[in-house]
Copies of this chain bind each other. A is one copy, B any other.
Amino acid sequence: MNFYKSSILKPYLTTHTLAPENQETPIHHIKRWVTPRKYVYRRNHFSYPTLTPNFFLLSVEGKVKHPLIFNFNTLLSMPSTTAAMVLECSGNKRSYFDPKVYGEQWKDGAISQGIWKGVPLRHLLTLAGLESSVKEVVFEGHDYGPRTDLEGIFSYARSLPLDKALHPDTLIAYELNGKPIPFKHGYPLRLIVPQWYGMASVKWLKRITVIDHEFRGPFQAIDYVYYPHKEDNSEKRPVTNIHVNSTIQQPMPYQLLDTGTHKISGIAYSGEGKIQEVKLSFDGGKTWDSANLKEPYNSPYSWTFWDYTWKVNEKGEYIIMSRAKDSKGNIQPLKAEWNRRGYGYNAIYAIKVKVE
Mark the stretch among A62-70, A160-168, A195-203, A252-260 that contacts chain B: A252-260
Assembly CA distance A18 to B23 (angstroms): 19
Which residue of B52, B184, B253 contacts A1 across the interface (Cβ within 8 Å)?
B52
Among A48, A50, A102, A353, the most chain B Cβ lie within 10 Å of the Cβ of: A102
With A1-B51, A1-B52, A51-B1: A14-B15 Cβ-Cβ less than 8 Å: yes
With A1-B51, A51-B1, A356-B149: A102-B255 Cβ-Cβ less than 8 Å: yes
| Residues A254 and B1 in contact, CB atoms below 8 Å apart | no
With A18-B29, A105-B252: A3-B51 Cβ-Cβ less than 8 Å: yes
| Residues B256 and A354 in contact, CB atoms below 8 Å apart | no
A17 at the binding interface (Cβ < 8 Å): yes
Q: Given the complex, which residues of B lie within 8 Å of A336, measured CB to CB? A: none
| Residues B9 and A12 in contact, CB atoms below 8 Å apart | no
Q: Given the complex, which residues of B lie within 8 Å of A258, measured CB to CB? A: 146, 148-149
Query: A residues 84-143 with Cβ under 8 Å of B?
Result: 100-103, 105
| Residues A11 and B15 in contact, CB atoms below 8 Å apart | yes
Assembly CA distance A348 to B285 (angstroms): 37
A352 at the binding interface (Cβ < 8 Å): yes
Assembly CA distance A10 to B18 (angstroms): 7
Assembly CA distance A354 to B254 (angstroms): 30
With A2-B51, A21-B9: A16-B254 Cβ-Cβ less than 8 Å: no
Among A9, A11, A105, A257, the most chain B Cβ lie within 10 Å of the Cβ of: A9
Oligomeric state, in number of copies? 2
A310 at the binding interface (Cβ < 8 Å): no
Residue of B nearest to A250 (CB): B17
Main secondary structure of the interface of A (DSSP, over half): loop
| Residues B15 and A29 in contact, CB atoms below 8 Å apart | yes
| Residues B17 and A26 in contact, CB atoms below 8 Å apart | no
| Residues A14 and B12 in contact, CB atoms below 8 Å apart | yes
With A9-B21, A18-B9, A19-B9: A352-B51 Cβ-Cβ less than 8 Å: no
| Residues B19 and A23 in contact, CB atoms below 8 Å apart | no
Q: Given the complex, which residues of B lie within 8 Å of A353, measured CB to CB? A: 102
Can you spell out 26 A-B residue pairs with CB atoms less than 8 angstroms apart?
A1-B51, A1-B52, A1-B53, A2-B50, A4-B183, A4-B184, A10-B18, A11-B15, A11-B18, A12-B13, A12-B14, A12-B23, A14-B15, A15-B28, A100-B352, A101-B254, A102-B255, A102-B256, A102-B354, A103-B254, A105-B252, A105-B253, A148-B256, A148-B356, A149-B256, A149-B356
Residues of A within 8 A of B (CB): 1-4, 9-19, 21, 23, 26, 28-29, 48, 50-53, 100-103, 105, 146, 148-149, 183-184, 252-258, 352-354, 356
